[in-house]
Structure 1
């Protein structure tokens, strides 16, 4: 029996069967006050007055003002159109910086749910299940990688970026058709000059970053030599496991979402203009969840910076060669092929080279006689031998 019918039974037991209010309350297990209330509603509105009424309060003083609700929805649409993060944390940060009252994150989510602006993803892995790693200080670790984008004509170009692991500060963001090892060395040297050397770097195993997995071994490349010169510890992710560089991989998602919201540039110059705008926005106007809503620029300058503390290992290797018709042998050093002068008197002789960092001793592979000694100058191609003694 529905509530309306039950209420009607109680009322008619008093009106038609002439029970007292106390007798009706006892018989039907309700309080006398409730019987009086039902009788008053019946006398005023008839049977319709016995329909159960909402138990919600008549006023909700804690409800968000409609103007604030409209601002939350407006921010959601604006941030989404800009290709920016548009979650509750980001919206709260923008509300705070525009002078609005800031409700809790859960309240903002409820507003977005009611407006149909959040698509449930029940199969998504909970954030609490992730194991996160973060450097303790700025410059303790820099992550670097190369991603790609397309121009309006469909031309594929590359983007080189460096990101501070602790603060997520975007140190470098440049584009060009393709990056060589020398380009990466130049970028890293500029960053060291500007921000100081980091304690370590973390990259994948691309040949511009490391030669350790190169098909043909040729010693350390230019990037590795630069890190060694500044006593910077080099870390590389496991092959085929990009999760090791998770921060910069997620950064690429943010970057490409922002670029997708804008027309494709026609040239690399136009793309670089976009990247410069993005870098300013990312560093100074975008709150970061992992930084308690602080911006990367704020986090990068908030605490003292780390410096290199490790002693890098010296390069040791051997190489065999045959002296060419011009009296030279070749050696790959810092990612470039160098030509070491030995002398025409030894043309055609097989030689053994013992390499200790930038010091090379060359001997006749058959007799063991030392015939030349070099100290590699990384700024030149041809290497003159030490004077004979």
Structure 2
């Protein structure tokens, strides 16, 4: 039994006055008066201790701000954008609001069921991040598959600045080839200047250093262009996509945004229209957590740009290729283009070695070492006839 019930019962049943009950039970008289007032208002409920919690909280987030936070969260999710607490705070600031702290926004989202806590998720501090010091110091590139609304599969290629995460180029194609890689790279250079280096995976459209034995050691058109410009080519380790983590994450963001568009593209032109819109929003309207809440465009233009070395990489390009004579010709790929070299049908079926130094080629019998033909490759022609003297005969 609580002292509150004891005092109230003594007053009601034994006729004690409130002053007498106060002295007998050593309870301040104002407290006795308050207890009796509660009893008259609440009857038996007055016997239980009352909560001391304040009726109001001056520091609580206003209901209007809570609704604004939830509305902004829903808007960002519907648009296909990232919608974490920091991103919501940034957008509210841009709209003229004074948002609550990031932790408060997280609590609002959790209470409303908009996010689910993941305590086992690895914290961001556990990751080791690598970032170029300057814009154009390194460009990452990759392409990803996408299915149009009609069911047709297409591919999207991206060039991304490593320092600022700015999407320098995004375009859709039926299929990404080596020529498209080169064309998009050159178009990006025209718009943004030449980078100091590139970072890609080991796909054949970027490098042929992991190609079949007969092709290995050569260069495709993209590799030749990089060497001529003095751009350092870097390729990630096989089966380790984390090396190109920035562009892998970018492609997730891009696909999520595309999936959330109300009108799904049915043609390449429709898809390209969406990609252009996404690039504008991503570069100029979306803050990036790794950039201290700046947009990629702001980070890209905030510092001087890097460039390639003044001296191009050495032009000498040596390789040895094995082949077998077929229909009087052997083949050689130069700058991504396949050339047929005529040596005569008399050698059909014979194994040969092609000793290549840039455009100078020596063809020898693989077993006897007999020199069959020497020539200077004419890159403008697919077929190199036997009487050819070279692209610039003296």
TM-score tier after normalising by the smaller chain length: 0.7 to 0.9
> Given that residues 7 and 21 in structure 2 are in contact (C-alpha distance below 8 angstroms), is that contact kept between their aligned partners in structure 1?
no
Q: CA deviation at 1:63?
A: 2.6
For the residues of structure 2 that align with 1:241 and 1:104, how far apart are their CA atoms?
Answer: 37
Within-5 A mapping of 1:121-160: 121-160=118-157
Q: Secondary structure at the match of 1:147?
A: strand
Aligned residues: 374
**The 10-residue stretch of structure 1 (273-282 or 113-122) with the greater mean CA deviation from structure 2:** 113-122
Q: What's the offset of the Cα at 1:362? A: 1.5
**1:175-186 → structure 2 map (5 Å cutoff):** 175-186=172-183
Give the stretch that moved more between structures: 346-355 or 280-289. Answer: 346-355
Match of 2:71 in 1: 74
Aligned 1:44-55 pairs, distance under 5 A: 44-46=37-39, 48-55=45-52
Residues 53 and 304 of structure 1, relative CA distance in 2, 3 Å threshold: farther
Alignment of 1:66-215 (within 5 A): 66-215=63-212
> C-alpha displacement at 1:337, in angstroms?
1.0
Moved more, 215-224 or 7-16: 7-16
Counterparts of 1:332 and 1:371, CA distance in 2: 17
Q: Aligned-pair distance for 1:36?
A: 4.2
Contact 2:166 2:297 in 1 (8 A): yes
Superposed displacement of residue 252, structure 1: 1.2
Q: Give the CA deviation at 1:126.
A: 2.1
Native 8 Å contact 2:8 2:36 kept in 1: no
The within-5 A match list for 1:171-320 is 171-218=168-215, 219-262=218-261, 263-309=263-309, 312=313, 314-320=316-322
Deviation at 1:152, TM superposition (A): 1.5
Q: Which residue of 2 aligns with 1:385?
A: 389
Does the CA contact (< 8 Å) of 2:81 and 2:256 recur in 1? yes
Paired residue secondary structure (2:305): coil
Alpha carbons 2:214, 2:321 under 8 Å: kept: no
Measured at CA, do residues 53 and 131 of structure 1 come closer, stay the same or move farther in structure 2, by a change above 3 Å? Answer: farther
Query: CA contact under 8 A between 2:157 and 2:171: conserved in structure 1?
Result: yes
Segment drifting more, 41-50 vs 276-285: 41-50
1:332-359 per-position Cα deviation (integer Å, ceiling 9, x unaligned): 11121124567x6997697643323x23
User: Which secondary structure does the structure 2 equivalent of 1:250 belong to?
Assistant: helix
Assess, with a 3 A threshold, how the Cα gap between structure 1 residues 170 and 380 changes in structure 2: closer, same or farther: farther
CA–CA distance in 2 between the matches of 1:128 and 1:14? 65
Distance apart, 1:380 and its partner CA = 4.4
Task: Specify whether residues 137 and 235 from structure 1 end up closer, same or farther in structure 2 by C-alpha distance, changes over 3 A only.
Answer: same
| Closer, same or farther: CA 36–305 of 1 in aligned 2, 3 Å | farther
User: Does the Cα contact within 8 Å between 1:372 and 1:385 map onto a contact in 2?
Assistant: no
Deviations 1:128-179 (A, max 9, x none): 2222111111111111111011111211111111111111100111112111
RMSD of equivalent CA atoms: 3.1
Q: Distance in 1 between matches of 2:238 and 2:135?
A: 26
TM-score scaled to structure 2, two decimals?
0.84
Distance 2:136 2:235 in 1: 17
C-alpha contact (below 8 Å) 2:214/2:323 kept by paired residues? no
Contact 1:38 1:50 in 2 (8 A): no
Matched position secondary structure for 2:135: coil
| Distance in 1 separating the partners of 2:274 and 2:233 | 31
Give the Å deviation of 1:19: 7.9
Shift of 1:381: 3.1
Work out which of the residue numbers 12, 36, 39 in structure 2 matches 1:43.
36
- Please, what TM-score do these two structures have when normalized by structure 1? 0.85
Q: In structure 2, list runs of 5 or more residues that go unmatched.
A: none
